[in-house]
Amino acid sequence: MTQPTDTSKLLIVGGGVAALETLLALRDLADERVDITLVAPETAFTYRPMKVAEPFALGHAARYELDQIAADLGATVVHDRVVEIVPDEHEV
């Protein structure tokens, strides 16, 4: 059985929990067979559930730099917003 030589290009839009879980899952399942780009306007992922504890000095919302997460997982980050998707032309 031959192995595919071309990598698929994949775009993940957003920098929240679902986007990062998708990035982790794809890297785990597809390894280097996919070239992943993450598009997000923010530079960091903030674990928001802890934001409610901050006013009461019960903890703080941890922040993780998206650039570092992407680098650790072999992905690229573009800090921007997606305003249009043209599926027939494979354009964002």
Which tens digits make up the pLDDT trace of 34-89?
999 999 999 999 877 767 776 777 777 789 999 999 999 999 999 999 999 999 99
Is the Cβ–Cβ distance between 38 and 19 less than 8 Å?
yes
> Domain locations in the chain?
8-83
Q: How many other CB atoms are found less than 10 A from the CB of residue 52?
A: 11
Q: Strand 76-78: give its sheet, edge to edge.
A: 8-13, 34-39, 76-78
**Distances from the Cα of 50 to the Cαs of 13, 46, 55, 59, in angstroms?**
24, 9, 10, 7
User: pTM above the 0.85 mark?
Assistant: no
CATH of domain 8-83: 3.50.50.60
Query: Confidence band (pLDDT; 50, 70, 90) for 4?
Result: low
Query: Confidence band (pLDDT; 50, 70, 90) for 3?
Result: low
d(CA 55, CA 33): 45
